[in-house]
């Protein structure tokens, strides 16, 4: 595919997305921006959630990780499903009962203003870094396929990308996000299924041949060595708590669930979308197996995050494969960035600036200013990550989540599982100390624990340190 063809594909998708965003958000008020006015149908949200859980990182990096990690990622996905069930039956009823717009308001009711601000700031840092890491991969791919061949710098790539994200989220907020994610889900599923079909046809494989190849080429469960990052119980437990932290305790994801009419509808949505993750992620891994076989057959040397982009656009396949890849990538990446930007705007406006008591018009003006400011900040973070990144993007996302979401998970777990009050002013110290302790342990675990290496289960340890710290600063049962 030529850079011009890729640009035309991207612009066509965005014309459709802008039209959808304008139609959905043409009469939106602040409540509809923040939580969709609580009018969303659960099955619409469930279909949208399938796409919302798939970022540009999943689309590009998961197929590429098959070579080094096999199908071990499915162990984590099994944990994701259990985590979704816990969110549906523990957190969703609680948040609806309290009628929350931002889920971090719970911390203010339970502990106090300082804890509330601490949780909001940790979410802000977590989501900003996570969204920037995910969107960085997309910008990197666009640089490889479009901006680089045209002789355009990476910073222009970032500026154009962030402008597009800001434009389609500025008006409709959560309502636009849900409709955009529904479009995204359809694009992703069609893109992956048809890519598998065309690549399998080149390899002369039917469905039975694909399954036989996958089954014989890779391991699915890793139970041999507890010291390895791929060990089943590490991945499974990390999946449970990662899902709770990054979905249940993340304003970005929960704002979709809180847009449903009631908690029962939100539970139906979460169970449906949670179970659907397993076959969808399996499709991405099947695609990864076929991509490596195709690359070996045709002498393509690209691996990991560069494999799918290279094969799809430069592998000699029908042009429809390249078009499908670009549509899938754009749908996955830009929607995820737009969703994160909407959630960051909601949390920063309501939680950090505490703007609930402003008039409707004043709140709308402030919300728009925050939206513009955070768009610029995200672009700067993406540029910074481009300078310092030296690891697989999928690994970077979960490593960041282990450090930044751990305190949030600890705060909510302590609040829900105990009746103790805490010394509110000391909470920031506990929340900062926990990730520092985890960093020290991660760097020295192999030497201190007989070769044991921490993986994403570091998130659980981080939350546990936060929980213990809160016990130490507790002051008896809350009245």
Q: With the C-alpha atoms ordered 283, 284, 285, 291, is the resulting torsion angle positive or negative? A: positive
Assess contact for 423 and 443: CB atoms under 8 A.
no
Over its length of 479 residues, how does the chain's per-residue pLDDT go in tens digits?
A: 678 888 888 888 878 877 776 776 666 655 555 555 566 788 888 887 877 777 666 777 788 888 777 788 889 899 999 999 999 999 999 999 888 878 888 999 999 999 999 998 998 888 888 788 778 877 887 888 888 888 889 999 999 888 888 877 765 556 667 777 777 778 778 888 888 888 898 889 888 888 888 777 767 778 887 877 788 888 899 889 888 987 888 887 787 788 888 889 989 988 998 888 888 888 888 888 898 888 888 888 887 777 888 888 887 778 887 887 787 777 777 777 777 888 888 888 888 888 777 777 888 888 889 989 999 999 998 888 777 765 555 566 667 778 888 999 999 999 999 999 999 999 999 999 999 999 999 888 888 888 887 877 888 899 999 999 999 999 877 65
- Measured distance CA(320)–CA(311) in Å, rounded: 12
The pLDDT assigned to 34 comes to 55
> Alpha carbon of 139 to those of 262, 319, 385: distances in Å?
38, 22, 11
The pLDDT assigned to 479 comes to 59
Q: Which CATH class is domain 3-399?
A: mainly alpha
- Measured distance CA(434)–CA(235) in Å, rounded: 21
Kindly state the tokens that stand for 160: 């154009």
The pLDDT assigned to 329 comes to 76
Assess contact for 405 and 95: CB atoms under 8 A.
no
- Measured distance CA(456)–CA(348) in Å, rounded: 28
The pLDDT assigned to 4 comes to 82
The pLDDT assigned to 33 comes to 56
Closest of 168, 106, 129, 199 to residue 371, by C-alpha: 168
The pLDDT assigned to 68 comes to 76
**Global model pTM greater than 0.85:** no
- Over the chain, what HEC string results? CCHHHHHHHHHHHHHHHHHHHHHHHCCCCHHHHHHHHHCECHHHHHHHHHHHCCCHHHHHHHHHCHHHHCCCHHHHHHHHHHHHHHHHHHHHHHHHHCCCCCCCHHHHHHCCHHHHHHHHHHHHHHHHHHHHHHHHHHHHHHHHHHHCCCCCCHHHHHHHHHHHHHHHHCCCCHHHHHHHHHHHHHHHHHHHHHHHHHHHHHCCCCHHHHHHHHHHHCCCCCCCCCCCCCCHHHHHHHHHHHHHHHHHCCHHHHHHHCCECCHHHHHHHHHHHHHHHHHHHHHHHHHHHHHHHHHHHHCCCCCHHHHHHHHHHHCCCCHHHHHHHHHHHHHHHHHHHHHHHHHHHHHHHHHHCCCCCCCHHHHHHHHHHHHHHHHHHHHHHHHHHHHHCCCCHHHHHHHHHHHHCHHHHHHHHHHHHCCEEECHHHHHHHHHHHHHHHHHHHHHHHHHCCCCCCCCCHHHHHHHHHHHHHHHCEEEECC
The pLDDT assigned to 343 comes to 80
Assess contact for 371 and 341: CB atoms under 8 A.
yes
Kindly state the tokens that stand for 34: 């923040």
Q: With the C-alpha atoms ordered 257, 258, 260, 265, is the resulting torsion angle positive or negative? A: positive
């Amino acid at each position: 595919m030529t850079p011009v063809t890729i640009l035309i594909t991207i612009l066509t998708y965005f014309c459709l997305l802008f039209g959808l965003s304008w139609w959905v958000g043409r009469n939106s008020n602040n409540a509809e921006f923040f939580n969709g006015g609580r009018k969303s149908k659960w099955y619409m949200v469930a279909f949208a959630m399938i796409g919302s859980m798939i970022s540009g990182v999943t689309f590009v990096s998961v197929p590429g990780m098959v070579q080094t990690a096999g199908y071990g990622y499915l162990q984590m996905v099994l944990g994701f499903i259990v985590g979704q069930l816990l969110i549906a039956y523990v957190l969703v009823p609680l948040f609806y009962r309290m009628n929350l717009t931002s889920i971090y308001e719970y911390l203010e009711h339970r502990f106090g203003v300082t804890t509330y601000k601490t949780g909001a700031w940790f979410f802000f840092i977590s989501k900003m870094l996570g969204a920037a890491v995910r969107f960085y991969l997309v910008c990197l791919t666009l640089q490889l396929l479009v901006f680089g061949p045209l002789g355009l710098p990476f910073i222009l790539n970032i500026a154009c990308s962030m402008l597009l994200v800001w434009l389609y989220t500025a008006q409709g907020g959560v309502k636009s996000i849900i409709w955009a994610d529904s479009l995204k889900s359809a694009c992703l599923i069609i893109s992956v299924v048809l890519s598998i079909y065309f690549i399998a046809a080149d390899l002369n494989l039917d469905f039975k041949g694909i399954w036989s190849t996958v089954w014989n080429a890779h391991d699915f469960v890793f139970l041999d060595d507890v010291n390895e990052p791929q060990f089943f119980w590490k991945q499974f437990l990390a999946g449970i708590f990662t899902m709770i932290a990054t979905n249940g305790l993340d304003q970005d994801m929960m704002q979709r669930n809180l847009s449903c009419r009631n908690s029962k509808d939100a539970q139906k949505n979460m169970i449906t979308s949670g179970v659907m993750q397993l076959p969808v992620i399996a499709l991405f891994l099947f695609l990864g197996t076929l991509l490596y076989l195709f690359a070996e057959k045709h002498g393509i040397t690209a691996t990991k995050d560069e494999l799918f982009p290279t094969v799809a656009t430069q592998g000699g396949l029908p042009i429809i494969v390249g078009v499908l890849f670009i549509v899938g990538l754009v749908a996955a990446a830009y929607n995820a960035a737009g969703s994160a930007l909407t959630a960051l705007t909601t949390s920063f406006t309501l939680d950090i600036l505490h703007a609930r008591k402003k008039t409707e018009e004043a709140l709308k003006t402030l919300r728009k200013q925050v939206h513009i400011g955070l768009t610029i900040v995200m672009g700067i973070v993406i540029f910074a990550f481009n300078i310092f990144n030296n690891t697989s993007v999928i690994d970077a996302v979960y490593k960041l989540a282990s450090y930044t979401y751990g305190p949030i998970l600890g705060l909510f777990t302590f609040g829900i599982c105990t009746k103790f009050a805490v010394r509110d002013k000391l909470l920031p110290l506990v929340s900062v100390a926990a990730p520092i302790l985890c960093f020290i342990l991660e760097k020295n675990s192999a030497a201190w624990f007989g070769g044991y290496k921490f993986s994403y289960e570091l998130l659980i340890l981080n939350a546990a340190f936060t929980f213990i710290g809160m016990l130490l600063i507790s002051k008896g049962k809350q009245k």
